Structure 1
Amino acid sequence: MNSEERQAVALAGVFQAATVVDELARTGHTNERAWSTLIRATLDTDPASFEDIYGGQVNNLRPGIEALESVLTRQQVSPNVMRYGFSLILLMHRLRKNTEMMNTLGQRLGRIQGQAEHFGELHENVIASLGELYQETLSTFRYRIVVQGDPSLLQSRQMPERVRAILLSGVRFALLWHQQGGRRWKLVAGRSGIRRALKSLDE
């Protein structure tokens, strides 16, 4: 996998997080494979390879790939998904400038990994801890992501934590995208390159 393909995969992860947040907020449900891929990627802070981050199967990021393709080709895409996706990238840039918060995230994720080893990666206690971590770090920035959806769902048991955990995963993939050479200008000037990379993933 070349650098352009890795950038495309990471960006698909960002838009998969945006898609899952939108689905949870509107319906209370989402694709289980998409959900678990994002959570596991967030917990795996030291993967053996790039491919291990998303479980080695490109189809684990299929909803994100399809959403990103729609954004790049300006096809019909949920305005919320587009807004969440670009907001996650903006939030990532704010985070990169805050060394103290980056260190806090790393330390706290290390503790949550221990929790995941005890309870299981998708256990509600782990999701609650990830959601709490997002709330106490990234959501303290002046720029915040406002999630829109069904108010009764957004206020229901465990839903706030689930949404925040996925927002955290979106920032994780945005950081990965930047580490692989992804830049905001490429989202405008380099759309065709990203689309080529996405297409090559299916070959």
Structure 2
Amino acid sequence: MSDPIFDRTMAFAGILQAIAQVQYVARHGSTDSEQLAAALNSILVTNPDNTADVYADKVALNKGYQLIINQLGDDKSKDVEVTRYLVGILALERKLARSSNALGMLSERINQVDRQLHHFEITDEQVVANFAGIYSDIISNLGPKIQISGNPEFLKQPQVQQKIRALLLSAMRSAVLWRQLGGKRRHLVFARKSIVDIAKKSLTL
């Protein structure tokens, strides 16, 4: 049986991996296609046998583990923007968990995207747009919108907006999983050292 703290740390790395990409896309207008694919694929694994099934691309999680070390560790390289996005995602996840109507719609829409993948790659613009639509229609309306900072020239481009929303949906997927695995915000304070230690061990060199 897997270790609950190990699994929770993996899911938390998933949240931060997606947030890191949101930040990168907002600043640079693009992102690594393999990282994007890894983040989006996690949304589609809705009934995993174990946590590792959600994150097939372990190398992509490295960014998330590194951010855990940066954000929760003792060094001074904490990113307030990452923290702000994280707080926003966790707040929206609590509202989602309380809305059976939103959860039902979310499941139905994700299944529709899954069927679309018979014809398209997961990073295809049309698929990304559909993920973005799920976030806009279901998640974004649950509470205060997350204000994204970045390069205004990129942020006004529809494709950039869609990538950001699709990645926020990926962050939400990992936040739901983290909560299902028993993750609570107090763990980020009281179990901080254990989480950082696991992140260091989990980094794929």
Q: TM-score, structure 1 length as denominator?
A: 0.93
Distance 2:37 2:87 in 1: 22
Find the residue that maps to 2:186 and give its secondary structure: helix
Q: TM-score, structure 2 length as denominator?
A: 0.92
Distance 1:12 1:19 in 2: 10
Which residues of 2 match residues 111-126 of structure 1 at below 5 A? 111-126=112-127
1:166 corresponds to 2:156:
no
Residues 17 and 85, structure 1, Cα contact 8 Å, conserved in 2: no
Distance 2:134 2:163 in 1: 12
Question: CA shift at 1:13, angstroms?
Answer: 0.7
> Given residue 183 of structure 1, which amino acid in structure 2 is its aligned partner?
K
Cross-structure match for 1:105: 106
Per-residue deviation, residues 39-70 of structure 1 (Å, max 9, x unmatched): 11112223343212111x43220111111111
Cross-structure match for 1:189: 190
1:67 corresponds to 2:67:
yes
Find the residue that maps to 1:41 and give its secondary structure: helix
% identity of equivalent residues: 28
Query: Structure 2 stretches of 5 or more lacking a match?
Result: none
1:132 corresponds to 2:144:
no
1:80 corresponds to 2:81:
yes
> Given residue 12 of structure 2, which amino acid in structure 1 is its aligned partner?
L
Per-residue deviation, residues 131-179 of structure 1 (Å, max 9, x unmatched): 0110011111232111111111011141111100000000000011111
Distance 1:32 1:193 in 2: 32
Residues 14 and 170, structure 1, Cα contact 8 Å, conserved in 2: yes
Residues 30 and 160, structure 2, Cα contact 8 Å, conserved in 1: no
Question: CA shift at 1:189, angstroms?
Answer: 1.3
Residues 15 and 171, structure 2, Cα contact 8 Å, conserved in 1: yes
Residues 66 and 203, structure 2, Cα contact 8 Å, conserved in 1: no
Cross-structure match for 2:148: 147
